[in-house]
Amino acid sequence: MSDSDCLFCKIIAGEIPSEKVYEDDTTYAFKDINPKARVHVLIVPRAHYANVAELATGDAGQLAHMVEVAQRIADDEFHGAYRLIFNTGLDAGQSVFHVHAHVLTGEKLDE
């Protein structure tokens, strides 16, 4: 998929509206449109990688930075506790093929 067809590239470019939670030079975070917890944020690199394995191979530092951003959000929202999910592959529930970390926090989560 080229970047011009990618939903999250369009969100990062501001072509589709989103509720921004955090941004810096490399990374953007916004509220999930269908939240599964009181706080459900998606963290994406501005650069397009299809999934977390491609990101780990291509730019491990960016992946580590996304974890730092998740921690920061959870520190603000819920004393540093959070769940971090990377759905990878259609059969695991990945529906957008621009790597994104789901951060679930803001309340006690079911096990």
Q: Is 100 in the site for Zn ion (CB under 5 A)?
A: no
Which position among 40, 98, 100, 102 is part of the footprint of Zn ion (CB under 5 A)?
98
Q: Is 63 in the site for Zn ion (CB under 5 A)?
A: no
DSSP states of the chain: --GGG-HHHHHHTTSS---EEEE-SSEEEEE-SS-SSSEEEEEEESS--SSHHHHHHH-HHHHHHHHHHHHHHHHHHSTT--EEE---SGGGT--S-S--EEEEESSPPP-
For residue 98, the partner it binds in Zn ion, ligand AMP, none, with Cβ less than 5 to 8 A by kind, is: Zn ion
> What does the per-residue mask of binding to Zn ion show for 8-47, with x meaning CB under 5 A?
xx--------------------------------------
What residue ranges bind ligand AMP (CB under 6 A)? 7, 16, 18, 32-34, 42, 87, 93-96
Is residue 100 annotated as part of the catalytic site, yes or no? yes
- Name the residues annotated as catalytic: 100
